Structure 1
Amino acid sequence: MISELRTFSAAARLGSFAAAAERVGLTQSAVSAQIRRLEQELGHALFERTGRSVTLSAAGHLSLGHAENILALFDKMRDPAADIVVHGRLRVGAISTTHTTILAPAVASLRVNYPALTLHIVPGVSMGLMDRLDAGELDAVIIVRPPFGLMPHLGWHPLVRQHFVLVVPAHLPPDDWRQIIISQPFIRYDRRSFGGRTVDRFLQAQGIVPNTAIETEEVHAILQMVASDMGVAIVPYILAVRAMPNIRVVPLGEHTILREIGVLTMLSWTSPALDALIAHLVQACPGDELPSDARAGEQAP
């Protein structure tokens, strides 16, 4: 009877079976037949018919409100999530390189859709954020996928893969990437971080021992140091690499190393708010934007 109720509502609002037929996509005779069936089921006339126009009967006026309430409830049954009110407070940890490119746009759209939801953003490195999640201090963490297997009580939600690139001062003469790393001061991505460990494993596999001058976990600081002619570095290709002046990307030959960014959660706890956050993070993730001159192959570390 849902179809009949929709047709009844359209005819009542439009005052014409012909107009209702156009609205619901039926012929006028099919509309008339649906109204007759509904009147037979209810046991009373819904319309007073006068020529080509129709007006609601007294019983029709009473029935229209009930019909539209039934239709509204049916539509909610088709989309159970529509009744869920996303509210409360989420404690979210995030590594610094995700703040501007992933987290900020996701939170902006999340707040538009769910203004009753508040977030507490906690910066940190992947390992430290994992520990805080495990201790119950955070509800979710946006981190680099660990180079080891996850404990069974943790859930991983992948967001994006990011390539690592060699960045050098813009004025540095072109040379083989290996020779650049060996001959220039090397600004190392901190080996305590998962990304730094990825770089370290790559260098070891290539038999390269760089002349490490500085080691830090802050990628934006590394880029600024390279731009200031303090050395060269291997870093993930994030928005700041494209935006930073006075640096240049050098391809790593046939070798491309990757890291995966994702959301880590506790499998024992979920909520509509957490589900909404993850959905908005997925939507906010940029695609693979590695410059064409740095695409020389793809080899997972």
Structure 2
Amino acid sequence: MNFADLEVFKSVVDEGGVIRAASKLHRVPSAVTTRIKQLEASMGVKLFHRDKQRLHLSPAGELLLGYAERLIQLSEEARDVVSGTAPRGAFKLGALESTTASRLPPILAGFHARYPDVRLELSTGTNDSLLGLLAERKLDAAFMAEPPGGQSFEHIPVFQERLTLISSADHRPITRPRDVEGLSLIAFPEGCAYRRVLLRWLGANSLARFRVLDLPSYHAIVACVTAGAGIALVPESVLDAMPQVKVRLNPIPKAQSQITTPLVWRRGEISTSVLALRTLLASLPKQRQAA
């Protein structure tokens, strides 16, 4: 198996057959067919099921396609990085909703102005959902609430966030978990790192003692807290973006309230767009990177 065979294989898949692939690659169909047969021989498996004039990927072909796409993408990234080519094409970026609302607008605007050939596709979600999308290669990089464990990812710290417990403005001060007994916890669904911080602060088996109201956005969470529906743990930067909101801020211990937002990407797969974003982040004024 060699790299040229993988490129031919992917072209046949993308174009839906040998003839179209041959036209795209500027080769005769017989040469493309020979390449595919050589690749199948080297792999020891059939990559396509042949049905008259149509080709259908076999299960082995489906597996190989994922690896071929990754290798071809890595080759293109390596060429762009080494040659200093400016980023271009799709850049799939993920971020927490809090980061998107309070931190990213000037960063995304700056990136868009510097790299007009990049089509930025932003997805928001919980910490765990973003990590899953990153692992599945549905994202190129993501701003998350905590660095992932293991050796599969790399990251750099970007923003310092301070979490605070909010309650309705007329609620008595909250200084310990006992002060919120009987109240509902308002949070993002399972997979939210800030939700896990809140549960750790409340103590073991806290879910058995509290009702949890799952909501999909900070605007909804803060609105419900304002109305007296319960308490929530949110980044202070989110509240800074909602100056009209009237809630009580109840600090929790620094060991739990201080959170670093990292930019995370897959180890060994940094694209020119991720590299450009890292460079842009490094140029930000220090006060913009700290809460």
With the shorter chain as reference, the TM-score category is 0.5 to 0.7
CA deviations 1:146-201 (Å, max 9, x no partner) are 5x623x23111211232221101112244544443125333245443222122212
1:127 maps to amino acid? D
Aligned AA (1:165): T
Asked if 1:250 corresponds to 2:250, the answer is yes
Cα distance between partner residues in 2 of 1:161 and 1:180? 28
How much does 1:237 deviate?
2.2
Q: Which residue of 2 aligns with 1:271?
A: 271
How much does 1:99 deviate? 0.9
Is residue 2:288 matched to residue 1:286? yes
Query: In 2 relative to 1, CA 92–242 (structure 1 residues): closer, same or farther, beyond 3 Å?
Result: closer
Alpha carbons 1:103, 1:281 under 8 Å: kept:
no
1:158 aligns with 2:157: yes
C-alpha RMSD of matched pairs (Å) = 3.1
Q: State the match for 1:8 in structure 2.
A: none
Identify unmatched segments of 5+ residues in structure 2. 1-80
Aligned to 2:259: 259
What amino acid sits opposite 1:140 in the alignment? A
Residue 210 of structure 1 deviates from its aligned partner by: 5.1
**Number of residue pairs matched?**
208
For 1:225, the aligned partner's letter is C
Q: Distance in 1 between matches of 2:162 and 2:197?
A: 11
Q: How does 1:81-96 map to 2 (within 5 A)?
A: 84-96=85-97
Alignment partner, residue 19 of structure 2: none
TM-score with structure 2 setting the length: 0.61
For 2:40, the equivalent position in structure 1 comes to: none
Equivalent position of 2:110 in the other structure:
109
**Counterpart position of 2:170:** 171
| AA in 2 matched with 1:257 | S
Q: Provide structure 1 residue ranges, at least 5 long, that are not aligned to the other structure.
A: 1-79, 290-301
Cα distance in 2 for partners of 1:188, 1:131 equals: 20
Compared CA separation, residues 177 and 271, structure 1 to 2 (3 A): same
Structure 1: distance between partners of 2:189 and 2:212: 12
Residue aligning to 1:141? 142
User: Structure 1 residues 131, 286: closer, same or farther in 2, change over 3 A?
Assistant: same
Q: Tell me the equivalent position of 1:97.
A: 98
Question: 1:64-116, CA deviations, whole angstroms, 9 ceiling, x for partnerless residues?
Answer: xxxxxxxxxxxxxxxx9996423222111122111122222111011122222
Q: Distance in 2 between matches of 1:135 and 1:242?
A: 32
**Deviation sequence 1:19-55 (CA, Å, 0-9, x none):** xxxxxxxxxxxxxxxxxxxxxxxxxxxxxxxxxxxxx
In structure 2, relative to structure 1, the CA distance for the partners of 1:276 and 1:257 (3 Å cut) is same
Amino acid at match of 2:157: P
Question: Which residue number in structure 1 is paired with residue 75 of structure 2?
Answer: none
Question: Partners of 2:83 and 2:166 in 1: how far apart?
Answer: 47
CA-CA distance at 1:264 after TM superposition: 1.2
Q: Paired residue for 1:194?
A: 193
| SS of match in other structure, 1:229 | coil
Write the distance in 2 (CA, Å) between the matches of 1:153 and 1:183. 42
Matches within 5 A, 1:42-121: 84-121=85-122
User: TM-score scaled by structure 1?
Assistant: 0.59
Q: Is the 8 A contact 1:178 1:208 kept in 2?
A: no
Measured at CA, do residues 134 and 81 of structure 1 come closer, stay the same or move farther in structure 2, by a change above 3 Å?
closer
Q: Percent identity?
A: 20
Does the C-alpha gap of structure 1 residues 188 and 263 become closer, same or farther in structure 2, counting only changes over 3 Å?
same
